[in-house]
Structure 1
Amino acid sequence: MNLRIKTLKRVSYVLVLGFLVISCASREEVVYMQNAKKFETVVNTDTFEPKLKVDDILSIHISASDPESVKPFNLIKGITNTGNPQELDYLIDKEGNIDFPVLGKVQLVGLTTEQAKEKISGILQKDYLKDPIVNIRIKNFRVTVLGEVNKPGTYTIDSERITIFEALGLAGDLRIKGRRDNVLVIRDFNGTKTYTRVDLTSKALINSPVYYLTQNDVVYIEPNKSAITSASLDNRATIIVSILSVLITSAVVIITRK
């Protein structure tokens, strides 16, 4: 009788151990940049700057030595709660233009913010202002991180330069069951979508065109094999545990009666 009870216990232990093994992940699956050598120095010469896209919202402010001369170019849409004037924002339309005061249509799509500044400054200096200063900021610079991360969501970026690691940091990093070697970045440029997969476990990532994210990029972390297996087992786990519990209880009762 004692032998049979011990056998039943061993079977239970094996089942539990099996579930634990399935959920385990190896070092190669979870460690970032694992092929970087000790004290290795890599100089990043990338001068990445995001390009302006259709539907970007821009804040544009013009200044010059004569404050009165720039007023026609800095339209006000209202007053903030603190009493400060709130300047008009500009949307890049489907043709790639903004409709700017006095100047009319100005095509900016595909330019960096620095190039856009130079273009508007050149037009102003040619016909309207002496030594104008143009400031441009992308107001809808957001990235979305989805999938196996701790805080999936859409994040607004104050600057115009963010790496994929920084975006994952905003999302609370990957969960242990997130796949690190096949991260998908979805990028949209004027209606054309590109899909790029990168490996976070390799230092070659820093040379990828998606190491620096652009506005409205989507980063998707897919589940690893362990997560997929666990998900498929979850639907049956309750039933299996219940059946095993009934069988073990029944077996113990039968053995005890004997």
Structure 2
Amino acid sequence: MNVRSSLYLLGCLFTIGLTSCVSAGKIEYLQTHTKEGQTVYLQAQVQEGLIRFQADDVLSITVNMKNGGNVVSDYNLPLMPSATTYEVGDGSIDQGLGRQTYLVSKDGYINFPTVGLIKVAGYTQQELEAYLWERVTTNGLKGNPIITVRLTNFRITVLGEVNRPGEYSINRDHITIMEAIALAGDLTLSGKRNDVKIIRSFPDGKTQIVTLDLSRADVVSSPYYYLHQGDQIYVIPNSARKRSADIGASTGLIINLVSVLLGVVNTVVILTRI
């Protein structure tokens, strides 16, 4: 094995050694100081985790009622061709129909059929369903209508030391940070469990950055354990990962310089023996 190959091998082994020195305590989630078999009860702030609608949200709202007929249709947006296509038996494409959606205005309103402008910002899904039920029944819709509200643009972004970074669409009205991490394929061994950032933007233009320690069990009691629409999660690399990145960028240069120096020394030695 020549000098260059030997130096390169030593550099690789050194880099691997730096990245592999991660203790088990630094990669475990939800750690407690209880004995094995003991149960820990923690109160999650579920109410804080409920999605509250805000400006630029896109809502799907439908009003249904048994034997409602044309009366109920007055309280729904018209059907439009769906973006989803389906293969049918004869090989043709049936595009299907779907309800239009409501875009919440900058001041938090939607224009609801027959009723008019309704402020929806600040409501949870259940609260808005109850409020709309009250508005449509007092507006003249008789019977017991069923109001269904869905947030259609609930997305989160996971970045940094995870196995599948990216943007994820959520098809329900709440998600925890642990569930978001699972969607992204879990943290890598180089991700800092005790320093996970949540970046949250607000309609007034303000942005908040919060740090969560996922290695502690009491993280479930944090008001940020449940995510909001548009949240970004950033997992910071640990110090070993940072060092390996620095070493990786300079290892080749160092090896080349050392090889050149050894070559010069070797040449000088040979010349002195002549």
Band of TM-score, shorter chain? 0.7 to 0.9
Residue 235 of structure 1 is matched in structure 2 by 249
Correspondence 1:127 to 2:139: yes
Matched, 1:185 2:198: yes
Question: Could you report, residue by residue, the CA deviation over 1:164-207 in whole angstroms, capped at 9, with x for unpaired residues?
Answer: 11111111111221111111101123233222110011011101
Matches of 1:19 and 1:251 in 2, distance apart? 27
Kindly provide the amino acid, as one letter, of the partner of residue 62 in structure 2.
Answer: H
Q: 2:71 aligns with which of 69, 72, 76?
A: 69
CA shift digits 1:97-119 (9 cap, x unpaired): 11111111100101101000111
Q: Kindly indicate whether structure 1 or structure 2 has the higher relative contact order, using CA contacts under 8 Å at least 6 residues apart.
A: 2
Aligned residues: 250
Residue 46 (structure 2) aligns with: 47
TM-score (norm 1): 0.86
Q: Is residue 36–residue 203 contact of structure 1 (8 Å, CA) maintained in 2? A: no
Q: Which residue of 2 aligns with 1:32?
A: 29
Give distance in 2, aligned partners of 1:16 and 1:122: 69
**Structure 1: runs of 5+ lacking an equivalent:** 1-8
More displaced stretch, 42-51 vs 194-203: 42-51
Aligned sequence identity (%):
31
Q: What TM-score do you get using the length of structure 2 for normalisation?
A: 0.81
Does residue 19 of structure 1 match 2:18?
no
Segments of structure 2 that go 5 or more residues without pairing to the other structure are 1-5, 86-93
Does 1:149 pair with 2:149? Answer: no
Alpha-carbon distance in 1 for matches of 2:102, 2:8: 66
- Kindly report which structure 2 residues correspond to 1:89-108, keeping only aligned pairs within 5 A, or say none: 89-108=101-120
CA distance in 2, matches of 1:249, 1:231: 28
Match of 1:154, SS state, is strand
Q: Letter of the 2:224 partner, please give it.
A: V
What is the rounded CA distance, in whole Å, between the counterparts of 2:254 and 2:220 in structure 1?
Answer: 46
Read off the aligned partner of 1:162 and give its amino acid letter.
Answer: I
Range moving further from structure 2, 77-86 or 130-139: 77-86
